[in-house]
Amino acid sequence: MSATLDPVSLEILSNALRSVTDETYVALMKSAYSTNIKERHDHSTAIMDPRGRLVVQAEQSLPIHIASMSGLMSSLLEKHGDDLREGDIFVANDPHVAGGTHLPDVNLAMPVFLGGRPIAFLCNIAHHADIGGMAPGSMAGGMSEIYQEGLRIPVIKLFREGALQQDLLDLLLLNVRVPEERRGDYFAQIAACRLGARRIREVVDVHGAESVSRAFGEIIERTESRMRDAIESIPDGVYEFEDVMDGDGLDAHSIPIRVCIRVAGRHAHFDFSGTAAQVPGNVNVTLNATRASVCYGLKALLDPEVPNNEGVLNVAEIAAEPGSLLNAVFPASVASRAHTCQRIVDVVLGALAPALPDRVVAAANGANTTAVFAGINPRGGNPYVYLETLGGGMGARPDRDGKDGVQVHITNTSNLPVEAIEAEYPLRVEEYSLVEDSGGAGRFRGGTGLRRCVRPVGHDCVFNGVGERFTHRPWGLFGGKDGASGRFLLRERNGESRRLPEKTGELRVRPEQCVVVETPGAGGYGPPAEREVERVEADVESGKFSAAFTESHYRR
């Protein structure tokens, strides 16, 4: 056999492996109990090689999960590398000792054996709607250390040689608010691992173990080479940008994130010196989450079609001080790390905008607006937890408007349908709409945010929410205007409303009250005076923008 696979064989194998991850992704989604997975698709599946390198990630997987899986494998091999057995399945979630990024994202990994040795690992991550801790949903503002955020799971064996460790599962389920739902989601993940293991063996039966193992390394090498070629298209130079987080929900406000990008040939170095120290509240991120965000930004700008694997992670050289916001250390709280990851993407895009003006987009909603409703369901007396992270505006692009009401960048989950919410929970969605005038004006306008008004039916419930870009608006580019900020409101039956904090802790909501969630819009691109008249007229006709807004921004 030749030292390397020919391009056709490599492409066939690459697609065969991709089909395995795509099938396991769908199997997990269709087997899950929680709306967060079966409806919102907050999960990912992947194949790792025996060295723990990410080879293939399912097409619909979340970019933020790419580094979590690599982090899990690093911890797994360090702790259990000499103790792998056929039928083992590992479970982990902890960001400080198990390579995770926050506790609700639970990782599973299963080695696949051939001839007495592991030839691959099947991995998946699912965001569990509650993992315990001091607040329903395990992501509320106000948490100041990892212990408050939920159950911490190091890398441990949930199955030993095919046998479920029932006492361990009992421990996991005892520490969550809706154990039956969690049990269903765990077994959906287990089923996805086992399905993937069968499919990997089928691929090996067709193509041979040597070819499959060789393909693993070549897929990664090909991706890294392609990404480095793309980096070479950036003019050599130094590019800087700064943005701020609204706050941490406790004591820190206007938290700076700074980046200095040095590009030289096929290398890009990202220096986050000057970024804030880690904060008491839970918007800190670990280094692997920072890496995932930076690499996503590079991929989105340079080669969106390149597959997600270790080769993407290899190309970014990152410097972030330990103990800083972007390289937080134990016992930092990290539950709301996705908000900060979105801001990392924004600063990377902002820094590279002068170098790549025809590829970059304006600031998106820059958030992962979290809304959690929890209580006792009067229809059966059982506890429930409804968790959702809502989309918002996507930034305007060099040649077209931003999209309205979507998840952006590192979180490509779906918005939960109203029908699913009202069928599963004792909640009524009284409004689900786009926020008028929330997209920034420009030659191309920013996308608009979402509004969702939720009322408990027949019972009191608890609400907690975490928002970003509620104070600092998403910026426009090259003369484009800023998008609107988001907000949480509590509305009384008489129509009166009061604004809630952007990081709202546990708030008791009565049936005569309604929680209003409005997510941020996005920035515009280019001077508003250059927007075509037909587009301005269409904005008003669509109902997304008022005549007053267009008169103010596009008056000629």
- For strand 89-92 and strand 105-114, is the pairing parallel, antiparallel, or unpaired? antiparallel
Please report which confidence band the pLDDT of residue 555 belongs to, taking 50, 70 and 90 as the band edges: confident
Tally of CA atoms within 13 A in the half-sphere of 198 that contains its CB: 7
User: Residue 504: inside a domain, yes or no?
Assistant: yes
221 and 365 part of one domain = no
User: Residue 90: inside a domain, yes or no?
Assistant: yes
**Average pLDDT over all residues of the chain:** 94
Average pLDDT over residues 192-218: 95
Number of structural domains, the chain?
A: 2
Q: Which of 186, 206, 225 is the last residue of a domain?
A: 225
User: Residue 342: inside a domain, yes or no?
Assistant: no
The domain that holds 134 is classified in CATH as 3.30.450
Residue 368 has pLDDT above 90, yes or no: no
Range of the domain at 523: 361-556
Per-residue model confidence as pLDDT tens digits over 147-198: 999 999 999 999 999 999 999 999 999 999 999 999 999 999 999 999 999 9
User: Residue 284: inside a domain, yes or no?
Assistant: no
Three-class SS state of 548: helix
User: Residue 230: inside a domain, yes or no?
Assistant: no
Average pLDDT over residues 278-286: 96
User: Residue 431: inside a domain, yes or no?
Assistant: yes
User: What is the per-residue pLDDT for 65?
Assistant: 85
Q: Which of 225, 255, 276 is the last residue of a domain?
A: 225
Angle separating helix axes 287-302 and 209-231, nearest 10 degrees: 70
Average pLDDT over residues 513-533: 96
Flag the least confident range among 65-74, 172-181, 517-526, 527-536. Answer: 65-74
- Kindly write down the DSSP assignment for every residue of 105-148, as one continuous string: EEEEEEEEEETTEEEEEEEEEEE-S---SSSTTS--TT--SGGG
Tally of CA atoms within 13 A in the half-sphere of 178 that contains its CB: 27
164: phi then psi, degrees, rounded to nearest 5? -65, 135
Please report which confidence band the pLDDT of residue 50 belongs to, taking 50, 70 and 90 as the band edges: very high
Answer whether the bond into residue 331 is a cis peptide, omega within 30°. Answer: yes
Please report which confidence band the pLDDT of residue 380 belongs to, taking 50, 70 and 90 as the band edges: confident
Please report which confidence band the pLDDT of residue 556 belongs to, taking 50, 70 and 90 as the band edges: low
What is the token pair recorded at 211? 């070819």
- CA–CA separation, 236 and 265 (whole Å): 7
- Kind plus residue range of the DSSP H or E element containing 38: helix 35-38
Please report which confidence band the pLDDT of residue 1 belongs to, taking 50, 70 and 90 as the band edges: very low
User: Residue 298: inside a domain, yes or no?
Assistant: no
User: What is the per-residue pLDDT for 484?
Assistant: 97
Distances (CA, A) of 493 to 59, 339, 427, 430, 456: 44, 32, 16, 12, 12
User: 450: exposed, middle or buried (C-beta count within 10 Å: 0-12, 13-18, 19+)?
Assistant: buried
405 and 554 part of one domain = yes
What is the token pair recorded at 5? 């696979």
User: Residue 402: inside a domain, yes or no?
Assistant: yes
Sequence-separated (6 or more) residues with CB below 8 Å from residue 255 = 244, 245, 246, 247, 248, 276, 279, 283, 325
- Share above pLDDT 70 across residues of the chain, in percent, rounded to a whole number: 99
Q: Which of 171, 199, 225 is the last residue of a domain?
A: 225
- Kindly write down the DSSP assignment for every residue of 181-228, as one continuous string: HHHHHHHHHHHHHHHHHHHHHHHHHHH-HHHHHHHHHHHHHHHHHHHH
Question: 3-state SS of 166-183?
Answer: HHHHHHHHHCCCCHHHHH
